[in-house]
Structure 1
Amino acid sequence: MAPPESHIRLQKSNYITWMQSNYAWLIALTRITGGFAPPTPSSIIGIDAGDGESLQLQITRQFAEAETKTIAAANNDALIDELYGILKEIPMGSPACSEDIYGLDTGIAWMSEDLQWTNSDNISGQGKSSVQSSSEEKKKFERAVDIIHEIADIE
């Protein structure tokens, strides 16, 4: 089961802005494969469940102002638990800053007391990961990204 108070962040791009809270947090990124310079984020979704009663969402899209909204945490408990369970099962790329092992050009990072999971440190798109994901793990990772979009109610 996921920690009762969490911070989730989805970011479309390779550039990571770490947001810390007193609780767990998650970052998911799209366009993580870089070239000579990291790409600019096309969107960032931050979800913070610090009070346990509501989820505070901050959605920033490329060339747009940040949108904030509050939704009931209870309505999303099952999704957050599913996301947490997926991340506990699937592998991370190794070493950090290596290739996109899921092939979705998307990265996720979750940090809590009992789970430190990331595949989103790929700033320059350099290097090959010593860990590769299976087709089943890729499907689970895709579901993890879909869960974040579902919680944030965006496509």
Structure 2
Amino acid sequence: MAPSEYSLRLQRGIVGGFAPPTPDAIHTLTKVPENPNILIASAVRPEGTPELQSATAKSLQAAQTVTEALVDELHAILKVLPTEVPPGSEDIYGLNTSIAWGSDDLEWCNGGPQGCGGGTSAVQPTEEEKAKFRRAVEIVDELVGKAA
């Protein structure tokens, strides 16, 4: 079961190189015990524009059965997935996407705080782990899509 308090961030656009990556989207989901909702803040860079533009903050009722099941599934997936070593060395999942999760029982992040700057990770995921990461991204997209 997922914790009652967590913060989750999905960023599309993590691969850099000589220059830092240019994110296409950043979605932040926050759940605190005092609030029955998951708060969702998004910033998206419309194609052809240089900067992220913030969208209206949304929320999603956390106690809905479907929402709880999705968050529980995401939490369980992240608990078993590896991250690159050293952090930020390589986009080991190949999706140009990072997920960062923080809660009392789990701190997990792929892609490093400044994206992936080129290099080779000492850790490489299996095809099964890559599929689980794709599912984790789908879950976050579904949660963001359900928000009003």
TM-score higher than 0.5 here? yes
1:61–1:67 Cα change, 3 Å = same
Residues 1:119 and 2:101 aligned together: no
The aligned residue for residue 61 of structure 2 is 72
1:32 and 1:39 in contact (8 A); partners too: yes
2:81 maps to a residue whose letter is I
Residues 1:86 and 2:81 aligned together: no
Distance in 1 separating the partners of 2:39 and 2:97: 22
What is the CA deviation profile of residues 13-67 of structure 1, one whole-angstrom value per residue up to 9, with x for unaligned ones?
Answer: xxxxxxxxxxxxxxxxxx2111211122111111111135111111111143322
The aligned residue for residue 97 of structure 2 is 106
Residue correspondence of structure 1 range 1-155 to structure 2 within 5 A: 1-12=1-12, 31-50=13-32, 51-62=34-45, 63-75=52-64, 76-121=67-112, 123-153=115-145
1:53 and 1:73 in contact (8 A); partners too: yes
Q: Which runs of 5+ in 1 are unaligned?
A: 13-30
Structure 1 residue 4: deviation in Å? 1.1
- What secondary structure is seen at the aligned counterpart in 1 of 2:16? coil
1:71–1:123 Cα change, 3 Å = closer
1:11–1:123 Cα change, 3 Å = closer
The aligned residue for residue 20 of structure 1 is none
Distance in 2 separating the partners of 1:71 and 1:113: 21
Structure 1 runs, 4 residues or longer, greater than 3 Å off: none
Q: Which has the larger radius of gyration?
A: 2
CA RMSD of superposed structures (Å)? 1.6
Structure 1 residue 107: deviation in Å? 1.2
Distance in 2 separating the partners of 1:81 and 1:8: 13
Structure 1 residue 83: deviation in Å? 0.3
